[in-house]
Amino acid sequence: MSVTTDVGAGARREREGDGLAFYLKDAPWWILGLVGITVVMVFSIWYQQTFGHAYGLDSHSEVFQTYWMNFFYIESAVLVMFGAGLWTWLWMSREKTLDITPKEEFRRYINLVMFLCVYTFAVYWAGSYFAEQDAAWHQVVTRDTSFTPSHIILFYLTFPLY
C-alpha cells in the first residue's frame, strides 16, 4: 500500500485569499515604497531643474525665500510629522508576546529584506544623483548660506539617516 501526499495542497492553502504566498503578503507595501520613492525623487529633480537656476542662486533674493525656504519649511514639518507618526505606529503595533511560529518569523525576515531594499533604493537616489550635483551648485551659488537648492533637497533625502 502506498501513501501519496499532495505536497501542493499546503502551498495552495497558504495562497488562499490574495493569490500570494504567505511570505509575500506584504509585497504590495514594498512595491508602494519603491513607487513612492521614485515619485518623490522625480518630483525633486523636476522642482530643482525648474526653479533652481532661475530662483536659487542668491539666498538674499525674495524669490529664493518663496521657492526654496518655503519648500524647506514644509519638508521639515512633513518629516517631523511623518517620523512621529511612524515611530508611534511602530511602538503601538509591536508584538507584545514573542511566541511566534517559524512561518511568521520567516515572513518577518522577508519583510525586513523588503524594507532594506526600499531603504537602499532611497539611499541610491540620494547618493547618486543629488549628492554628486552638490559640487556644481557650490560653484554657481552665492555662498552666503548653507541653504542651497541641492542642500534643501538632500536634507529630506538624508533626514532618515539621522
Report how many helices (DSSP H) and strands (DSSP E) the chain contains, helices first. 8, 0
Residue 108's pLDDT is: 85
Range of lowest pLDDT (13-17, 43-47, 82-86, 158-162)? 13-17
Summarised one tens digit per residue, pLDDT across range 60-70 is: 888 888 988 89
- The x, y and z cell numbers of residue 55, run together, are 530662483
Summarised one tens digit per residue, pLDDT across range 13-44 is: 444 555 677 777 888 888 998 998 889 888 88
Query: Could you tell me which residues come within 8 angstroms of residue 55 by beta carbon, excluding any fewer than 6 positions away?
Result: 61, 63, 64, 66, 67, 68
* pTM of the shown model: 0.71
Instruction: Answer whether residue 56 shows pLDDT above 50.
Output: yes
| Torsional class of 19: left (φ above 0), alpha (ψ -120 to 50), beta (otherwise) | left
